[in-house]
Amino acid sequence: MSAAVGRRELAEVEPAAWDELLGVLELADAYLLREYVEGAALLDPGRPTFLHLAAPGGHVVFACLVRDVPGGGFDVTTPYGYGGPVAVGEQPPVERFYELYERWCSDRGIVTSFVRFHPLFANHQQAPPPFRVELLAPTIGWRLEAGRELLAG
């Protein structure tokens, strides 16, 4: 798992260990996977960064890109698509995650965060102030029933 387990600290997870952590947490969503985040960095140059907070009641993970800001400092963005901090467990440490995330940003000279949240996880509902959540457009989805797959012909 990550160095955060048992320490209740926000940990940066080594990229090689990220997908394994997601598997353990049963969070193998395409938008969270290492290859997706690293691929996104080719289009939106930044350093792929993988954060994890563990607590007895659950976990919070966050895949993001840390980018240079012209004139100095850094910002954080999520790869294009769906992402944001994702919480799992009966009582995930969401509030503690955001407290530690704010400190993590400050300690690294990060001046702003732009987060695209995941509509299937509804994780925008957990974002506390000073996060300002804005709806840019609706998301549409449909169930693919057996025998009715898009590419079935």
| DSSP assigned state of 128 | P
pLDDT more than 90, % of the chain: 63
User: Looking at the domain assignment, is residue 150 inside a domain?
Assistant: no
Measured CA to CA, the distance from residue 106 to residue 113 in angstroms comes to 11
CATH for 100: 3.40.630
User: Looking at the domain assignment, is residue 119 inside a domain?
Assistant: yes
User: Looking at the domain assignment, is residue 147 inside a domain?
Assistant: no
Q: What total number of domains does the chain contain? A: 1
User: Looking at the domain assignment, is residue 92 inside a domain?
Assistant: yes
User: Looking at the domain assignment, is residue 2 inside a domain?
Assistant: no
User: Looking at the domain assignment, is residue 120 inside a domain?
Assistant: yes
> Is the bond leading into 128 cis (omega within 30 degrees of zero)?
no
Query: Which residues span the domain enclosing 19?
Result: 11-126
Measured CA to CA, the distance from residue 80 to residue 43 in angstroms comes to 9
Confidence band, pLDDT 50/70/90 cuts, at residue 6: very low
Confidence band, pLDDT 50/70/90 cuts, at residue 150: low
pTM of the full structure? 0.83
**Tens digit of pLDDT for each residue in 75-110?**
999 998 888 999 999 999 999 999 999 999 999 999
User: Looking at the domain assignment, is residue 144 inside a domain?
Assistant: no
User: Looking at the domain assignment, is residue 77 inside a domain?
Assistant: yes
Amino acid 7: pLDDT: 55
